[in-house]
Amino acid sequence: MTGTVAPDPMSTPTVGLIDPDAELVAVLGTPGGRADPYPHYARMREHAPVFCSAMGNWVLTRFADCQQVLRAPQFGKGPDQDATARARLARWGVPAEEAEDFFEFFQRRQSMLTLNPPDHTRLRGLVARAFTPNTVESLRPHVAALCDGLLDTMAELADGGRSVDVMRELAFPLPVAVIGELLGVPVEDRAQFQALVRAATAILEPMSDLEELRAARAARLSMEQYFADLVGDRRRHPADDLLSELVAVSDGSDRLTEDEVISTAILLFAAGFETTTNLIGNGLFALLSHPEQLARLRSSAQDPGSVQRAVEELLRWDSPVQLDGRVALRATVVAGQDIAPGEQVMTLLGAANRDPRRFRHPDVLDLGRDEGAPLSFGSGIHYCLGAALARLEGQVCFGRLLTRFEEVELGDGGITHRDTITLRGLARLPVTLTPS
């Protein structure tokens, strides 16, 4: 662990009439703020676009500032990113030894997501060609067939006006099937990963408590064991899947270690469905809450360009990833603020996507909007590797759903938001369906 120079929270003035820390805490730590973070984001963005939080990190909410940090070589990934979590554990009185042991565990488990060049470049380069727009586009008919199969089941379940949970029947199983097949995870093993990935991603949530972090560690160990066995299997019996390709690369040269194969497989599998599940859930909920936009998409569901723009707008409107961040590798200035090496910066992507400096009338859902990509997939060298795949899944899913069902309406019982903010999504989205 290198030394972290935490900025002094007391030195940050409360700007204007708001207390930016209270707004941040509302978003990160209250059910109301998590259900609707956007008014809180707006107050931070307008009155305190850069401030140092009581947690000791800088917080950014404007599009240009967030993009600058995600792209600039002065920022990167690093063990210092754990400093916030360390400070939190210390505040809770967690014994230093346990905290240290915990962080060591996670620091040993690096993937491209947590590494800087040159390791990042090497790991990303090895799998990047499986996710190029052209390779991904060739999957479209197959993704559509998978989606149609799930819609068939939904039609049966919805018979007689019964509510069907979209999260359970479509938003989770579609992305998990797509990435599961690409990677080569047997169909019967996939369902167990929802709980494991959810437990493991507690490490990404700023408010996770010690029990959740312990569960994250246990889940990570289970996934490692699972993928170690699967890698062993592919080494003995290579198949036509990405995991076998990774194994071949690691056997063929010294460019990928066994641990790196396992970490890459876990990253691809976890990132491949958890976020896309939330694109489908958040996106459909946005449509159901804006019937005029739903009708607009329905009327143009056969036009690929319209569906593409719609998915881009749904990604902007309620981003499945709300929070990203970097650590300063060198002294730099962001939004007029000096940032010292080792200091951490939190970029609130959901806030940046509603920045009126970047998008006209950002609080209006407008499926015809054509103003360029939001920050939902990040930016710079860690820009989402699976962006083309996620977009394709979203396009197929909304297009097929609206073609297949003449009416889709909110069902009984209402929605529930998950208790998370980095990965924002719904636990439940009941709908009723009328076949076309």
Q: Closest approach of Cβ 130 to ligand HEM, in Å? A: 8
Task: Return the CA Rg of the chain.
Answer: 22
Contact map string, positions 73 to 112, toward ligand HEM, x by CB under 6 A = ---------------------------------------x
How many residues at the interface with ligand HEM, by CB under 6 A? Answer: 25
Question: Does residue 389 touch ligand HEM according to CB under 6 A?
Answer: yes
Interface stretch with ligand HEM, choices 19-27, 40-48, 194-202, 268-276 (CB under 6 A): 268-276
131 by Cβ neighbours in 10 Å (0-12 / 13-18 / 19+) ranks as buried
By CB under 6 A, name the one of 377, 400, 417, 425 that touches ligand HEM: 377
What's the residue count for the chain? 436
Report d(CA 142, CA 148) in Å as an integer. Answer: 10
**Binding to ligand HEM, residues 213-242 (CB under 6 A):** none
Q: Would you say 320 and 391 are in contact if contact means Cβ atoms under 8 Å apart?
A: no
In terms of DSSP H, where are the helices of 72-209? 83-91, 96-108, 119-128, 133-137, 140-157, 166, 173-183, 193-200
Pick 113 or 431: Cβ nearer ligand HEM: 113
Interface stretch with ligand HEM, choices 139-147, 165-173, 251-259, 381-389 (CB under 6 A): 381-389
Angle CA(336)–CA(79)–CA(109) in degrees, nearest 5? 140
With tokens 């962001």, the residue in question is 334
By CB under 6 A, name the one of 82, 260, 312, 324 that touches ligand HEM: 324
Q: Which long-range contacts (CB under 8 A, 24 or more apart) does 89-98 make?
A: 89/210, 89/213, 92/209, 92/210, 94/210
Q: Closest approach of Cβ 132 to ligand HEM, in Å? A: 12
Question: Closest Cα to residue 124, out of 382, 375, 376?
Answer: 382
By CB under 6 A, name the one of 78, 378, 399, 430 that touches ligand HEM: 378
Q: Closest approach of Cβ 403 to ligand HEM, in Å? A: 21
**Binding to ligand HEM, residues 343-372 (CB under 6 A):** none
Question: Closest Cα to residue 166, out of 400, 422, 423?
Answer: 400
Pick 112 or 352: Cβ nearer ligand HEM: 112
Host H or E run for residue 313: helix 304-317
Question: Does residue 430 touch ligand HEM according to CB under 6 A?
Answer: no
Interface residues toward ligand HEM, by CB under 6 A? 70, 112-113, 124, 131, 179, 267-268, 271-272, 275-276, 279, 320-321, 324, 376-378, 382, 384-386, 389-390
